A and B are shown apart, each in its own frame.
Chain A
Amino acid sequence: MARLTPDNLLLARKIIARFPEPRSATIMLCHLAQEQDGYLSPEAMEQVAELIGATSAEVLGTASFYEMFKMHPVGKYCVNVCTNISCQLLGGEELLEHAEEVMGIRSGSTTADGMFTLEDVECVAACTEAPAVQVNYRYFNRVSPDDFDELLEDLRSGELSRTIPSHGTLGNVRQDLHGDRVANITSPSQQVEPAWFPNGDSDEGPAK
């Protein structure tokens, strides 16, 4: 596990080549690693750092800001139950309790078979459909405890495997845009400063 497979390494190099600054590829490469392993491992972050010419600490600093990068192994399906205000009013907390019971784990942990990770989350912007649940960031609306049981059943049986790929996979279909068809990327060194900046000496460094 962990270091990028040869195919992914090739893809990583392709991604980096699209940016004027290799560092700009940090997030994309973290996604690539998470797609491969299901989570972002320390080894992967080290490799990303090597590839973009940064330190591992810098990659960790960036990646750890994002809730959706998991720094520990998670289940195949991340089940997020919203307990923020709208959902709470319509039974989100009860749903979470129910989930803990039927899955046999506490929120924040992963089932022994590695299928599910359960989390309670803040508003996922589906308030009109409360209580809302996400599985690998795909929405399930107005979920009752019975709906929830059915959802788990479908996930287990593989019924939903086409619509919900395993954790980390960004999409079932990857669009491959040829390198020379990208538009509007200007290297920072060639960028022109907007006219409303008073004196154009942006590369002056700290004020003396």
Chain B
Amino acid sequence: MRDIEITEPVEITLNGELVTAQNGELLIDACERNGSYIPRFCYHSRLTPVGMCRMCLVEVDTGRGPALQPSCMIPVSDGMGVDTESDGVAKAQDGVLEFLLANHPLDCPVCDKGGECPLQDQAYAYGPGESRFVEEKRHNEKPIPISELVLLDRERCILCDRCTRFADEVAGDPLIHFIHRGSHTEVNTFPGEPFASYFSGNTVQICPVGALTASPYRFKARPWDLEETESTCTRCSVGCRVVVESSRNKVLRLQGVDSDPVNWSWLCDKGRFGFQAGNSGNRLSRPLQRCESGELSEVGWNTALDSAASVISAAIAGRGPQSVAVLGGARLTNESAYSWAKLAKDVIGTDNVDCQLGDGLPAELVLGLPGASIDEVCEPGATVLYLGPDAKEELPILYLRLRHAADFDGVKIVEVGPTLTGLSPYAAESVTAVPGETPSVLAALLDGTSEHVEASALLRNASDLKVVIGRANLAEDEAITVQTADLIRESVPGATFLPALRRANVRGALEAGLAPGFLPGGATLAGTLPTGWQSMPAERGGGAAEILEDAANGRVDVLILLGSDPLRDFPDRSLARRALAGAKTVISIDPFVNASAEQADLVLAASMFSESAGTTTSLEGRVTALNQLVTPPGTARDDWMIAVDLADRLGADLGVETSADDLAEEMAGFSDAHVVLGDGAPVGDGVMLDISGRDLLTSAEVEVPPANAYSLRLVLNRTMYDKGTLLEESESSAGLAGESVVKLSAADAAPLGVDGSTQVKVTSEHGSVTVAATIDSRVPKGVAVMHHALGDVDAGTLLVHGDPVCDVRVEVS
């Protein structure tokens, strides 16, 4: 049950006592709020009630005498009399349970749900204890896979319609359905069409029996053996609230927490099952150092830290602090990010620091744009201008929230981007703009000269425009996004922005100061020295692209990769390659030996999700807790510990006496959220950052070359499952990445003779790749779409950082 504010109170008699309820709310909720919990199976507060199971029968009297009614279907009205404990109700509950168990196999001893099963619990609490049924029970093949991750045991199913309602109403993937309705009703998929939803794991969480199980947890533990802690998902920047559960020092399961401002109890499958990476056998448990033979081999921490400190000192003494660069930090907790910002900018004195890899938004925008929270964007009746990446692929739960807002709350989404996306079916208007042309298309929409009259009217009539802004195309220069933001602020002065960032804690890392030109709390290098700091960099440094450029040209002596993998993630792949080869010493701090770490001289083993405590900041600026539940493998340790030890060896003190709490305390100096968090009170949904009053914004003017008739504009974007390290290391998602393809519109494909899966050669000014081509109706004419990190084809070799757009030629090879 969710807390609500009572705005229209009515009085009802509940078991003989007068109580207050909200007019029109469901009786089942009103009773629970007033202390009478009504048993239920099908009712779920985030789904439309259907009255399937009849477990919630109560006696309702609206003046015509008491009658049994399903309380999940009855809105409360004034003067209603309700009895939840009468003999009639008890008898009804007996009967319903006897009936629900008529076909239930009662295989609790071998059922994963045993011990946390609503059917088990309620049969015990409300059931008759005996059954009069002697007939043979229904038999079905025991669990059948309905997707890669979820299995269905139809014998256990009580047909509550939760999973199917979720699939249809919430996820928008009605791939499971009741079939053979009648006396043989069962939940199933269409033969050969699995329940391939990005949100399939939620059905397992809401199934009130053990009918749906997820393969990562099957037969792993009993609920009473689990330890648990509330935390935040760190697989993307939405920041869904989760409960992490472990047994014997191993994380086994994540469940969504119903956080009203964020995830409403839902999780995407990437977030839900991503914990498996932490249990991977490839985790790094000790530091590695490149030895004389050229191999990476294990060394002790003292050796590793000493050598790291000595190369850093040598670099400082040699070419100066700016010859040390730090790339990454979005994987870290806020506290770790802060410790690294302090190490880099105060102790070492370099400003060549960037937590993003050329695939994010400029720090000025994230830190400075007037903010809108997820709730504000999804506020009933709002108008949203969506300029981000495909939310379904990159920010899955934001997608669910927007979908709900559009479907149920009358939110009008106007989407402007290079292709149609997962959100398009729910958007009021989708306008496609060829890469490079978003600013001009948008300008026309906003000044009313656009041919898309309806989209234009929606935007122009919005009283309170909310903008979701992000990078829909990694092959387009980020300056174009700056220009777009600029344009919106000029034409719609009151607009507020939700930055569609991707990596979990980019926002926190930026707030901590891991960006060129910035100090913690959004202060700039020109500002005053932060509390607890001795110094700040003398000159402004460069962002990821400049750092890599410098490295490639031999101007970086120590390149520190703070949980980042530029070889896989930096869009301009050849620059990343040259940089790693050109940097004198590369130090990687990571839980895995990722592609870039394989080229490093030193790899320091870092802890991961649920192995370290701290806070994280979501894309909307919500600071929530990350809690520790298990210990990292071997001697792997938290990133802040590594920073403290390195500082120590460089002759400085980061101010940590005992734990990361000392860092959090120091952070209260610039972060109001940390003041609140520092009080020690439980923070649940977290604390929003206050960014008002910042004046950071920059502007940009980009010359986009005109499109020519012979080539297509490349869109490079991401899919939910790709070959990223964490996904590859998670057992259940390792096989889910698709194959590399280039997607074309039918109009562009026809003259090329592309049909099903023709192999084509995609050539840009800078490189070429051979890849299968498919026709995709979501791709507009003039555009070619490739996805990041799928298969062996590396679209990143086609681009050069700094080009406004990337034109490619596609030929059948």
Binding site for B on A (CB under 8 A): 42, 45-46, 54-61, 64-65, 199, 204-208
A206 touches B48 (CB 8 A): yes
Residues of B within 8 A of A54 (CB): 174
B190 touches A205 (CB 8 A): no
A56 touches B190 (CB 8 A): yes
Chain A residue at minimum C-beta to C-beta distance from B25: A207
B47 touches A206 (CB 8 A): yes
Tell me the minimal C-beta distance from B501 to chain A in angstroms.
29
Task: Mark interface residues in B44-71 (1 if CB within 8 Å of A CB, else 0).
Answer: 0011110000000000000000000000
* Of B29, B181, B188, the contact of A65 (CB 8 Å cutoff): B181
Residues of A within 8 A of B181 (CB): 61, 64-65
Tell me the minimal C-beta distance from B192 to chain A in angstroms.
8
Residues of B within 8 A of A60 (CB): 177, 179, 190
Tell me the minimal C-beta distance from A55 to chain B in angstroms.
5
B179 touches A206 (CB 8 A): no
Tell me the minimal C-beta distance from A49 to chain B in angstroms.
8
Check A205/B408 contact, CB under 8 A, given A57-B174, A60-B190.
yes
Chain A residue at minimum C-beta to C-beta distance from B181: A65
Task: Mark interface residues in B1-15 (1 if CB within 8 Å of A CB, else 0).
Answer: 010100000000000
List, sorted by A's number, 30 A–B pairs whose CB atoms are closer than 8 Å.
Answer: A42-B191, A46-B190, A55-B173, A55-B174, A55-B175, A55-B190, A57-B175, A57-B176, A57-B179, A57-B189, A57-B193, A59-B190, A60-B179, A60-B190, A61-B177, A61-B178, A64-B180, A64-B181, A65-B181, A199-B24, A205-B48, A205-B407, A205-B409, A206-B47, A206-B48, A206-B49, A206-B408, A207-B25, A207-B26, A207-B75
Determine the distance from Cα of A173 to Cα of B724 in the docked complex, in whole angstroms: 61
Residues of A within 8 A of B49 (CB): 206-207
Residues of B within 8 A of A57 (CB): 174-177, 179, 188-190, 193
Residues of B within 8 A of A207 (CB): 24-26, 29, 49, 75
Tell me the minimal C-beta distance from A147 to chain B in angstroms.
31
Residues of A within 8 A of B188 (CB): 57
Residues of A within 8 A of B178 (CB): 61
Residues of B within 8 A of A204 (CB): 408
B182 at interface, CB cutoff 8 A: yes
Interface residues of B in 391-422 (CB under 8 A from A): 407-409
Residues of B within 8 A of A65 (CB): 180-182
Determine the distance from Cα of A42 to Cα of B192 in the docked complex, in whole angstroms: 10
A56 touches B193 (CB 8 A): yes
B408 touches A45 (CB 8 A): no
Chain A residue at minimum C-beta to C-beta distance from B168: A58
B190 touches A45 (CB 8 A): yes
Tell me the minimal C-beta distance from A79 to chain B in angstroms.
22
Tell me the minimal C-beta distance from B179 to chain A in angstroms.
5
Residues of B within 8 A of A205 (CB): 48, 407-409
Determine the distance from Cα of A208 to Cα of B175 in the docked complex, in whole angstroms: 26
Determine the distance from Cα of A81 to Cα of B179 in the docked complex, in whole angstroms: 26
Task: Mark interface residues in B340-381 (1 if CB within 8 Å of A CB, else 0).
Answer: 000000000000000000000000000000000000000000
Tell me the minimal C-beta distance from A188 to chain B in angstroms.
15
Name the residue among A55, A59, A204 with the largest chain B CB count within 10 angstroms: A55
Chain A residue at minimum C-beta to C-beta distance from B45: A206
Chain B residue at minimum C-beta to C-beta distance from A201: B24
Tell me the minimal C-beta distance from A31 to chain B in angstroms.
18
Determine the distance from Cα of A121 to Cα of B46 in the docked complex, in whole angstroms: 42
Residues of A within 8 A of B75 (CB): 207
Known: A61-B177, A207-B24. 17 other contacts (CB 8 A): A42-B190, A42-B192, A55-B173, A55-B174, A55-B177, A55-B193, A57-B177, A58-B174, A58-B177, A60-B177, A60-B190, A64-B180, A65-B180, A205-B48, A206-B408, A207-B75, A208-B4
Determine the distance from Cα of A59 to Cα of B179 in the docked complex, in whole angstroms: 9
9 closest pairs, A vs B, by CB? A205-B408, A61-B177, A56-B190, A65-B181, A57-B177, A57-B190, A206-B48, A64-B179, A64-B180
Chain B residue at minimum C-beta to C-beta distance from A67: B182
Tell me the minimal C-beta distance from A33 to chain B in angstroms.
15
Residues of A within 8 A of B409 (CB): 205
Residues of A within 8 A of B26 (CB): 207
Determine the distance from Cα of A59 to Cα of B193 in the docked complex, in whole angstroms: 13
Chain A residue at minimum C-beta to C-beta distance from B164: A61
Chain A residue at minimum C-beta to C-beta distance from B191: A42
Determine the distance from Cα of A83 to Cα of B176 in the docked complex, in whole angstroms: 35
Determine the distance from Cα of A117 to Cα of B4 in the docked complex, in whole angstroms: 59
Interface residues of B in 163-214 (CB under 8 A from A): 173-182, 188-193
Name the residue among A42, A45, A59, A208 with the largest chain B CB count within 10 angstroms: A208
Tell me the minimal C-beta distance from A70 to chain B in angstroms.
13
Tell me the minimal C-beta distance from B8 to chain A in angstroms.
11
Residues of B within 8 A of A64 (CB): 179-181
Residues of A within 8 A of B408 (CB): 204-206
Determine the distance from Cα of A72 to Cα of B408 in the docked complex, in whole angstroms: 39
Determine the distance from Cα of A206 to Cα of B408 in the docked complex, in whole angstroms: 8
Tell me the minimal C-beta distance from A171 to chain B in angstroms.
27
Chain A residue at minimum C-beta to C-beta distance from B48: A206
Chain B residue at minimum C-beta to C-beta distance from A63: B179
Residues of A within 8 A of B47 (CB): 206
Determine the distance from Cα of A45 to Cα of B179 in the docked complex, in whole angstroms: 13
Chain A residue at minimum C-beta to C-beta distance from B72: A207
Determine the distance from Cα of A57 to Cα of B152 in the docked complex, in whole angstroms: 15
Determine the distance from Cα of A42 to Cα of B189 in the docked complex, in whole angstroms: 12
Determine the distance from Cα of A55 to Cα of B2 in the docked complex, in whole angstroms: 32
Chain A residue at minimum C-beta to C-beta distance from B425: A53
Chain B residue at minimum C-beta to C-beta distance from A42: B191
Determine the distance from Cα of A45 to Cα of B75 in the docked complex, in whole angstroms: 38
Residues of A within 8 A of B189 (CB): 57
Tell me the minimal C-beta distance from A154 to chain B in angstroms.
33
Chain A residue at minimum C-beta to C-beta distance from B76: A207
Name the residue among A45, A57, A207, A208 with the largest chain B CB count within 10 angstroms: A57
Interface residues of B in 32-52 (CB under 8 A from A): 46-49
Tell me the minimal C-beta distance from A204 to chain B in angstroms.
8
Tell me the minimal C-beta distance from B18 to chain A in angstroms.
23
Determine the distance from Cα of A58 to Cα of B175 in the docked complex, in whole angstroms: 7
Tell me the minimal C-beta distance from A157 to chain B in angstroms.
37
